[in-house]
């Protein structure tokens, strides 16, 4: 029977990991939450939908004889990451968090780090009146109570209430380029950007465009992975971790 690996998440890194393992003797199952109507599917076996909390995930790991889990969910998917940590501890299945590095401010950036979306909403009135909101459709409700501000929200799928009264929605999916982000900010006369520290190159051009225009950027800080879970910042490092556990070639230590 092939050794079974569960990859949690539909991120760029999750798809790249599944692609790297395609054609190997492993059984690789990628699990997607099902929150995006038309997700980009990874290579190999795909499961869509929740597990029913940590107990449900633990039961699935046992039933499917999973021997390792890579949590490659979005850096802000704290609930599933927490469930994965609890399920791995309950079953003794090795768990790795695959997290792309966060963004780093450079000279010229006007970043305002905040702890969460509520803090981002509280900071906005003092920073601008025309807001480019790039925190995902599920977080838009945190800004619904703000009056006197115009919001442009970009998301893959249309958000649902509650939403700000003065809101335009742009349905789009990255990767985005710098010329497009410059034009978008100018066209909509944006004077403040709100983003999560998702990291990665696909959505980073908005930060460069905001820097060039001298715009303030409210940056929601990412949650930490569950305590005690090793972290890989790249797919090659994740493959090395798997290799060290007999899922491939010789591996390197996870930092």
Residue ranges of domains in the chain: 4-101+223-244, 110-220
- What percentage of the chain exceeds 70 in pLDDT? 96
Residue 248: pLDDT over 90: no
CATH of domain 110-220: 3.40.50.720
C-alpha to C-alpha distances, 20 to 13, 24, 44, 101, 226, nearest whole angstrom: 10, 9, 11, 20, 26
Residue 32 half-sphere exposure toward CB, CA atoms < 13 A: 21
Residue 255: pLDDT over 70: no
- What percentage of the chain exceeds 90 in pLDDT? 84
Q: Residue 184 — φ and ψ, nearest 5°? A: -65, -45
Q: pLDDT at position 174, please?
A: 87
Q: pLDDT at position 6, please?
A: 98
pLDDT single digits (tens) 176-234: 999 999 999 999 999 999 999 999 988 999 999 999 999 999 999 999 888 899 999 99
pLDDT single digits (tens) 103-161: 999 999 999 999 999 999 999 999 999 999 999 898 999 999 999 999 999 998 899 99
Asked if domains 4-101+223-244 and 110-220 share a fold, the reply is: yes
Contact 98, 14 (CB under 8 A): yes
Residue that has been written with the tokens 């007999």 in this structure: 246
The b/e string for 68-88 (b: 16+ C-beta within 10 A; e otherwise) is bbbbbbbbbbeebbbbbbbbb
C-alpha to C-alpha distances, 67 to 5, 10, 72, 249, nearest whole angstrom: 6, 20, 16, 16
CATH of domain 4-101+223-244: 3.40.50.720
């Amino acid at each position: 029977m092939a050794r079974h690996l569960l990859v949690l998440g539909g991120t760029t890194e999750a798809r790249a990991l599944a692609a790297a393992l395609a054609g190997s003797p492993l059984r690789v199952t990628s699990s997607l939450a099902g929150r995006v109507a038309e997700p980009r599917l990874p290579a190999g076996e795909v499961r869509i939908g929740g597990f029913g909390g940590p107990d449900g995930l633990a039961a699935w790991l046992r039933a499917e004889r999973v021997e390792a889990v890579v949590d490659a969910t979005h850096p802000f998917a704290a609930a599933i990451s927490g469930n994965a940590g609890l399920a791995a501890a309950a079953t003794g299945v090795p768990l790795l968090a695959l997290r792309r590095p966060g963004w780093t401010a450079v000279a010229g950036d006007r970043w305002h780090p905040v702890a969460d979306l509520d803090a981002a909403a509280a900071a906005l009135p003092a920073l601008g009146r025309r807001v480019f909101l790039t925190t995902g459709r599920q977080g838009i409700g945190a800004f619904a109570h703000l009056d006197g501000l115009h919001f442009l929200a970009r998301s893959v799928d249309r958000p649902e209430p509650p939403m700000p009264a003065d809101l335009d929605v742009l349905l789009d999916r990255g990767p985005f380029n710098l010329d497009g982000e410059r034009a978008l900010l100018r066209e909509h006369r944006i004077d403040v950007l709100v983003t999560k520290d998702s990291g990665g190159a696909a959505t980073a051009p908005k930060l460069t465009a905001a820097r060039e225009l001298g715009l303030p950027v409210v940056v929601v800080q990412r949650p930490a992975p569950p305590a005690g879970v090793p972290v890989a910042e790249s797919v090659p490092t994740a493959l090395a971790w798997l290799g060290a556990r007999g899922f491939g070639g010789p591996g390197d230590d996870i930092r």
